[in-house]
Every structure is written in structure tokens, then in C-alpha cells.
């Protein structure tokens, strides 16, 4: 059978004159994602990218699953590629859609004719295909308003395409089309979701994580790497920076007011993240903070943390409830890993009574009680860098 996968671009279509470059990035991402499956022919026309396998042994279900995770694709479907001849189309539609139609009762047909030399107009094609399906499958009924399935017949330049159920794509914009940013990732539920959300807006993600051995274990670091590995399904490869943070945390414990331990720790994380971002040309940071979730995420705490960064900090979860964040974590398969019980450096030296309304001045004065600069420089010096790759 001669099949293809049709990918519908979403928001890209709104990009006007920039559309071409967005599509270039999307096609490049698609090509990269297709590599492990074999050779494909890729064409684009009228906000559809057509992917055709060059050999028969490629499992299109697997390819579809992979395409369902590429940002910039709004919807996708498998389609039969057939001759531009009405008789052939009717016969092939009946055979090809058999399984799809057996489980439903109502359908409609939508025809699209971009090849205007095809002798039948769209309404006629729809009518003919609808009639052929009704006579082959008498359990069906046409419902033009709320069909369980819309059968699509497209008459394009080089072939006709017949497709059944369309699936929703990953949406958003192609990774890299918005540039790059650095995700502060912990082993928790929130930050992986934040990374996913910003990748969906077209950012290529790098990640930074702070570890405090022996207070935090190797297993906690493994957990973070597993989370990032899971994210690569959507984000592609992630450059990962692991920062040794123990000495800074001990210095905070020894020299700063206990009620500010977490805030000052957050600010030092920001300072290091900014240095890494500067060195690697990453214009923005991303965190998983959500307003009011914990003491370090009240408006004044966030203001104090924010003041430690000279570049924009994206907080896509800021207005979200935990339950909605969890729903996304489940969808992207990070949840089960996130809830494993290993400690994070945030849970080391946590104050019994954290200050929930710290003024920036009080925080800055408290941080100035100790000269953190040498330890900051040392931490940056000892960062371990590696690339977490999408596993084929």
C-alpha cells in the first residue's frame, strides 16, 4: 500500500512573510526526527507537509507517534496516496477506510481540490465518495454537523490523498524558531513541565541543575537526567550543565539568617545560571515557579529571586494550579519519575520558618554578610557539561 503521513502546520500559517523560515526550521526538525526510521520523501504545499516513506518496511505507526511530538504540527494523519481518477478514488476509499469506519456510525466527507484541472469539483467529489462509503457500509449515516469521523479527500498536484481520522499534533511552534533558553531543572514535577511548555513556544532548551553532595545523592542526579531524557522526545537533544553547589549551600547555612536560606539559595542559583547563559549565548532563563505555591514563590520572594538575573526569566507555570501542572506532567510522561522520593538541594537546610515576605533590601543585606564570589566562581569553574540525547 502506498501511504503517506500528512502533517498540518498550525500557527506557522499566521506568520506572513516569515512563514518560509518557520517552515524551514520545522522541516529540518521533522527530518531529524525521521532519521532513525529510514528514508523519506518530504514535500510541502499549502500548510501541509507530506512525508512519504521510500521503502515498505517502515512502521508508519511508529513514525506517526514520533511526528505527534514535533512542535509546530497542529494535526496529522495517515493517508493513502492514490491516482487522480474518481473511479480509483472511490474504490480505494472503500477499501482503505474499512477499519476506521467499522467502529463508528456517523461520518462526513470533505474534499479539497488544489489541482483545479481535476474534472470534478469538491462538492461532487464529497458526494460521490460519501455515496460509495454508504453503499459499502450500510451501518453508516452522514452527519455533516457532528460526524464521528471526517473523511478527507485531497486532490493535489501529483496525487490524490484519502485520509480518515486526524490526530491532534503537539501544537506550538518549531523548536529553535524562537531561539534558545536555559531551564533551571530540579527533580520535581514543575520544572520539566516548564521546559516542555517553553519548548512548545519554539525555544531550544538547555538545562542547568544544582547538586549538593553528599546531601544529595547520585540517584537524585540520575532522576534529573531521566526527566531530561524524557523531555527530549519533544525538545530534541538537551545540553545539560550540572553545578556543584554544596559549598555555597554550606556558606549560606553558616552566614545568613535561617529564614532566608531558600531565597538566597535561589538567588545564587540565578547568578550561576546567568553566567552560564551568558557564556553560551542563551538570552533567557526558565523556571518552574508558580505564584504562591511555596514560601519561596510568593510575590516578594519571586521579586527577590528575579533581581538576581539580568535576563528575562520565563515562568510558564506562574498562573497555574498544581493539578493542571500534574496533568501536563502525566501527558508528557515525566510525572512518575518526578514523584520518586530522592532529595533535591532545595530540601537541604530548609528553614523551619521561611520568610514569606522578604524585602529585597533585607535579602541583599543578608546576602552581603558573606562574600560568595569566590565560591560562585569555583562552582562555575567545576560545572560538568554533557548532552542528553533523544534515544531512538
Q: Which residues belong to the annotated binding site for ATP?
A: 184-185, 209-210, 266, 288, 297
- Rounded distance, CA 172 to CA 361, Å? 40
Give me the least distance between CB of 39 and Mg ion, in Å please. 44
Cell of 53: 516513506
To Mg ion, the closest distance from the beta carbon of 290 in angstroms equals 11
- Closest residue by Cα to residue 43 from 158, 155, 122: 158
The total of other beta-carbon atoms located within 10 Å of residue 117's CB is 8
Residue whose CB is less far from Mg ion, 172 or 188: 188
**According to CB under 5 A, which one of 72, 147, 188, 316 is a site residue for Mg ion?**
188
Query: What, of ligand ATP, Mg ion, none, does residue 25 touch, CB below 5 to 8 Å by kind?
Result: none
Backbone angles phi, psi at 328, to 5 degrees: -70, -40
CB of 261 to ligand ATP, least distance (A): 12
Q: What does the chain come to in residues? A: 392
Strand partners, 180: 204
In three-state form (DSSP H/G/I as H, E/B as E, the rest C), the secondary structure along 262-310 is: HHHHHHHHHHHHHHHHHHCCCCEEECCCCCCCCHHHCHHHHHHHHCCCC
Which of 29, 176, 186, 232 is in the footprint of Mg ion by CB under 5 A? 186
The H-assigned helical ranges of the chain are: 19-34, 60-67, 86-96, 98-102, 122-136, 190-200, 218-235, 246-255, 261-279, 299-306, 322-331, 335-338, 360-367, 373-381
Phi, psi of 339 (to 5 degrees): -85, 0
Cα(189)–Cα(320) distance, rounded to whole angstroms?
13
**Of 125 and 273, which has the nearer Cβ to ligand ATP?**
273
Query: Which of 162/243 has CB closer to ligand ATP?
Result: 243
Residue list 321-380, contact with Mg ion (CB under 5 A): 346
Nearer to Mg ion, 50 or 305 (CB): 305
**DSSP annotation of 187:** S
Q: For residues 177 and 246, which CB has a smaller minimum distance to ligand ATP in the complex?
A: 246
> 183 in helix, strand or coil?
strand
Complex with ligand ATP: residue 172 or 288, whichever CB lies closer:
288
Report the residue closest to Mg ion, judged by CB.
Answer: 188
**How far apart (Å, rounded) are the C-alpha atoms in residues 62 and 53?**
12
| Segment lying near Mg ion (by CB under 5 A), choices 171-179, 180-188, 352-360, 368-376 | 180-188
Stretch of 135-143, 161-169, 179-187, 195-203 lying at the interface with Mg ion (CB under 5 A): 179-187
How many whole angstroms separate alpha carbon 110 and alpha carbon 373?
Answer: 65
Q: Which residues bind ligand ATP (CB under 6 A)?
A: 184-186, 188-191, 208-210, 269, 287-289, 293-294, 296, 344-346
345 binds, among ligand ATP, Mg ion, none (CB under 5 to 8 A by kind): ligand ATP
Give the nearest distance from C-beta 370 to ligand ATP in angstroms: 21
6 binds, among ligand ATP, Mg ion, none (CB under 5 to 8 A by kind): none
Question: Smallest gap, in angstroms, from Cβ of residue 78 to ligand ATP?
Answer: 37
Distance CA 209, CA 294 (A): 20
C-alpha torsion sign, points 107, 109, 110, 114: positive
Q: Does 77 bind Mg ion (CB under 5 A)?
A: no
Where do we find the cell 560538568?
384
261 binds, among Mg ion, ligand ATP, none (CB under 5 to 8 A by kind): none
The set of cell numbers assigned to 222 is 540520575
**Least Cβ distance, residue 304 to ligand ATP (angstroms):** 13
The entry of ligand ATP, Mg ion, none near residue 294 (CB within 5 to 8 angstroms by kind) is ligand ATP
Out of ligand ATP, Mg ion, none, what residue 185 binds, judged by CB under 5 to 8 A for its kind, is ligand ATP
Encoded one letter per residue, x for contact with Mg ion by CB under 5 A and - for no contact, window 288-327 reads ----------------------------------------
β 106-113/141-142 pair status? parallel
Among Mg ion, ligand ATP, none, partner that 256 touches (CB below 5 to 8 angstroms by kind): none
In the bound state with ligand ATP, the residue whose beta carbon lies nearer, of 51 and 270, is: 270
Residues engaged in binding Mg ion (CB under 5 A): 186, 188, 346
Amino acid at each position: 500500500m502506498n501511504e503517506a503521513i500528512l502533517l498540518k502546520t498550525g500557527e506557522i500559517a499566521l506568520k506572513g512573510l516569515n512563514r518560509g523560515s518557520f517552515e524551514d526550521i520545522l522541516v529540518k526538525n521533522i527530518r531529524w526526527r525521521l532519521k532513525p526510521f529510514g528514508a523519506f520523501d518530504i514535500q510541502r504545499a499549502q500548510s501541509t507537509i507530506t512525508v512519504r516513506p521510500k521503502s515498505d518496511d517502515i512502521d508508519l505507526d511508529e513514525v506517526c507517534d514520533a511526528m505527534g511530538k514535533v512542535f509546530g504540527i497542529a494535526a496529522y494523519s495517515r493517508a493513502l496516496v492514490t491516482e487522480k481518477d474518481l473511479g480509483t478514488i472511490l474504490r480505494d476509499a472503500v477499501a482503505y477506510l474499512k477499519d476506521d469506519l467499522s467502529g463508528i456510525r456517523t461520518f462526513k466527507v470533505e474534499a479539497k481540490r488544489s489541482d483545479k484541472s481535476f474534472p470534478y469539483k469538491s462538492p461532487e467529489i464529497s458526494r460521490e465518495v460519501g455515496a460509495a462509503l454508504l453503499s459499502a457500509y450500510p451501518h453508516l449515516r452522514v452527519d455533516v454537523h457532528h460526524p464521528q469521523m471526517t473523511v478527507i479527500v485531497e486532490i493535489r498536484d501529483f496525487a490524490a490523498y484519502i485520509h480518515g481520522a486526524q490526530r491532534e499534533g503537539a501544537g506550538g511552534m518549531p523548536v529553535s524558531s524562537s531561539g534558545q533558553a536555559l531551564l533551571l531543572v530540579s527533580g520535581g514535577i514543575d520544572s520539566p513541565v516548564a521546559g516542555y511548555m517553553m519548548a512548545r513556544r519554539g525555544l531550544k532548551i538547555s538545562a542547568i541543575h544544582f547538586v549538593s553532595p553528599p546531601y544529595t545523592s547520585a540517584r537524585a542526579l540520575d532522576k534529573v537526567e531521566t526527566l531530561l531524557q524524557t523531555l527530549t522526545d519533544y525538545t530534541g537533544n538537551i545540553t545539560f550543565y550540572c553545578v556543584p553547589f554544596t559549598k555555597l549551600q554550606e556558606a549560606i547555612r553558616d552566614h545568613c539568617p535561617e529564614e532566608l536560606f531558600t531565597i538566597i539559595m535561589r538567588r545564587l542559583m540565578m547568578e550561576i545560571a546567568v553566567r552560564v547563559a551568558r557564556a553560551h549565548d542563551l538570552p533567557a532563563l526558565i523556571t518552574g515557579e508558580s505564584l504562591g505555591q511555596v514560601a519561596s514563590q510568593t510575590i516578594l520572594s519571586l521579586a527577590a529571586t528575579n533581581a538576581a538575573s539580568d535576563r528575562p526569566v520565563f515562568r510558564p507555570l506562574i498562573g497555574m494550579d498544581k493539578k493542571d501542572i500534574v496533568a501536563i506532567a502525566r501527558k508528557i510522561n515525566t510525572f512518575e519519575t518526578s514523584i520518586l522520593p530522592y532529595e533535591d538541594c532545595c530540601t537541604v537546610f530548609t528553614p523551619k520558618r521561611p520568610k514569606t515576605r522578604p524585602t529585597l533590601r533585607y535579602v541583599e543585606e543578608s546576602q552581603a554578610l558573606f562574600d560568595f564570589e569566590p565560591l560562585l566562581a569555583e562552582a562555575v569553574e567545576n560545572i560538568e557539561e554533557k548532552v542528553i540525547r533523544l534515544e531512538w
